[in-house]
Amino acid sequence: MASMNEPASNTASSHTQQSQAEARATSSMPDINQLSLGHNPDIFTIICCNDIFQLALDHSTIKVLLRVCKRVRFLLSSKLPRFHSWCQSIELLNPDGQLRIGLSPSDKIAISLHCDDQDTADRSWLEAQADQGNAAASYLLARILRADLDKQLSVRTEHQAIKQQIFQHLKKAAADNNHAMAQFHLTECYRNGTGVSQDHTKVVQLYRSLAEREMPQAQVALGGCYESGKGVHQDFDTAIEWYTKAANQGSEDGRLHIVFLRGWLSFIGHDVEQSDVDAFNHWQEVSNQSTNPVLKPIAAHMVGWMHYLGRGTMRDEQRGITIIRENRSAEFKLGEDESLAALLIDIKSKSPIACKFFNLCHLGSEHDWLCRHLMAVCLFYGFGTTKDWKNAASNFEQLAIEGRSDSQLWIGVCYYWGREISDYRKNSFEWFSKSADQGNSYGQWRVGWCYYDGRGVAEDLAKAVKWYHKSAKQGNRYGQYDLGDCYQNGYGVPKNIDKAVFWYRKSAEQGFDLAINNLKKLGKRGGPDPQGPSKCQIQ
């Protein structure tokens, strides 16, 4: 217990603070003989009830106290409520009152000991503690700055400077060998290039050090390194071994990483028997049970495709489309517009989720046509990889020649926008027609779209209506919208507002903003309320 008797240089920083602490100790220390601790007053009780002793504690000693005598945890820092109020004032609490930034009990205590009455938005006291070597304060500052970046609370020109501050704060906190979470997040900086150059070899080294100390998060992260082959030779068996170590400690994230990876390996038949059923069941489990921000949306996207194509489960195109549409988010931007309808939208991204999705699709591209198709979609948009229209078009065309209707739609789009190609619009119409002839509702919509505007074929509004109707009857919200537009304006059919409203409402029920807006203009209502501005325009 020698460390408890030695004043820590990072806590009692001035004679004034010490005098104030002594005065408070006399007035605020409870009658320890009245405490129901189940034993006589001892050194732990004295420390927990006395500000002078508490200010002399370093972070490691607090952690030791918490482990040795858990019964005194609720006494160790009377300032915890004040710290909690400060966190609330700078919006660090969830609606349930819990901290959005994970802090251990020892972190909270080590910081709260120095939390006096502060200006509600002032971080200067926390910054002062970080400068004095308080590992918990440095860690919290780094996490607050990260949260600010995630919420875009700073202007973009300041981002790099803030990232460097995050790295430096974590580096200071990680110098305390007992602060494993600081070391873990510091490793993430090296992995993502946050305030420092990316170094995947160092990432593996740091994750391994934490994983061997039985930290489940690091075991999962190290498994991810082996899965992706970044900083280490790709080895799925070793990845599963590390995921299993985490799962054996009760990590649900570790268990679901195993399930997710086995879904991909089953889908492409990598060292296991190929099985659409197993792949679907694995992805369904991850989609339903995971809270991982990377695994869950990728698994849900693949579940949507499996329903859409009838692979591993009963075919239900509309259910698959709905899942893909509703799974879209700011982090995972592949929804119906981007993945199925092939609209020209800028979703270029090098985010971890985008890169993981592309890498998985690339892994399976030589084994399964859908992986190759989705890899080409990523290449088209620059989603998780460098944008490469030529390579994307080459893959789409080969799959289209094999008769894949979704790829036929996509190569039609590539030809349409590839203006340097001779007769590009004629070629795009031909590929749209091949897709439409196989019953692809998006291909049917595109054929109607070509007839409507005379793109690659002579303008023919009656034929446009015919193909829009085929698409609309299959539940395609784009075909339903354009068919409604034809009835509203009398394009290719007699003008009929009732029929226009009928088809607009069908499209609006699937959340299509343009249809919802047209219903409003017509004084009608239908479908869900629009969620902000339209996500896309017909391209």
Report how many domains make up the chain. 2
pLDDT tens per residue across span 222-235: 999 999 999 999 99
Instruction: Name the DSSP class of 383.
Output: B
Q: How many CB atoms lie within 10 A of CB 193?
A: 12
CA gap 65, 198 in Å, rounded: 38
3 state DSSP class of 8: coil
C-alpha 194/C-alpha 443 separation (Å) is 43
pLDDT of 34 higher than 50? no
Position 128, amino acid: A
* pLDDT for res 37: 42
DSSP structure string for 218-239: HHHHHHHHHHHTSSS---HHHH
Beta-bridged to residue 383, according to DSSP, are 349
Asked, for residue 171, whether it belongs to a domain, the answer is yes
Q: Looking at the domain assignment, is residue 161 inside a domain?
A: yes
Tell me how far the alpha carbon of residue 513 is from its chain's centroid: 25
Whether 484 shows a pLDDT value over 60: the answer reads yes
pLDDT at 422 over 60: no
CA 536 to chain centre: 22
Of 172, 207, 223, which one is at a domain's C-terminal end?
223
What's the confidence (pLDDT) of residue 163?
93
Nearest CA to 207 among 239, 250, 236?
A: 239
How much is the pLDDT for 74?
58
Neighbouring residues of 401: CB distance < 8 A, sequence distance ≥ 6: none
Q: Please check whether residue 38 lies inside any domain of the structure.
A: yes
pLDDT at residue 128 tops 70: yes
Domain enclosing residue 165, as ranges: 2-223
- Give the lowest-confidence range in 149-158, 240-249, 340-349: 149-158
**Residue tagged 């299959």 (tokens):** 474
At which of 179, 194, 223 does a domain end? 223
Task: Tell me whether residue 113 is in a domain.
Answer: yes
* C-alpha torsion angle, residues 396, 402, 403, 406 (rounded to 10): -20
Tell me: pLDDT of 496 over 50.
yes
Residue 9 belongs to some domain of the structure? yes
In a domain, 184, yes or no: yes
Tens digits of residue pLDDT in 299-346: 999 999 999 999 999 999 999 999 999 999 999 999 999 999 999 999
Instruction: Give the Cα-Cα-Cα angle 264, 270, 273 (nearest 5 degrees).
Output: 95
pLDDT at 136 exceeding the cut of 80: yes
Residue 298 lies in a domain: no
**Domain stop point among 183, 206, 223:** 223
| Secondary structure class of 386 (helix, strand, coil) | coil
Q: What is the pLDDT of residue 75?
A: 58
What Rg, from alpha-carbon coordinates, does the chain have?
30
Domain assignment present for residue 347? The answer is: no
| Alpha-carbon span 64 to 51, nearest angstrom | 18
Does residue 260 surpass a pLDDT of 60?
yes
- CATH code (residue 487): 1.25.40.10
- 12 Cβ partners below 8 Å, 6+ apart? 18, 21, 55, 56
- Summarised one tens digit per residue, pLDDT across range 43-92 is 555 556 555 565 666 666 666 666 656 655 655 666 778 888 888 887 78
Quick one: pLDDT at residue 157? 65
**SS3 category, 440:** coil
**Residues whose CB is less than 8 angstroms from the CB of residue 428 and which lie 6 or more positions away in sequence, other chains included:** 412, 413, 415, 416, 450, 455, 456
Q: Does position 535 have pLDDT exceeding 80, yes or no?
A: no
Residue 14, pLDDT > 80, answer no
Q: What is the pTM of this model?
A: 0.80
